[in-house]
Amino acid sequence: MTVAQVALYARVSSEQQAEDNTIASQLAELRVRIRADGFDLKTVLEFIDEGYSGSTLVRPALERLRDVAAAGELDRLYVHCPD
Distance CA 51, CA 49 (A): 7
What's the sign of the alpha-carbon dihedral 28, 31, 36, 40?
negative
* C-alpha span between 7 and 66 (Å, rounded): 11
Give catalytic residues, as residue numbers. 13
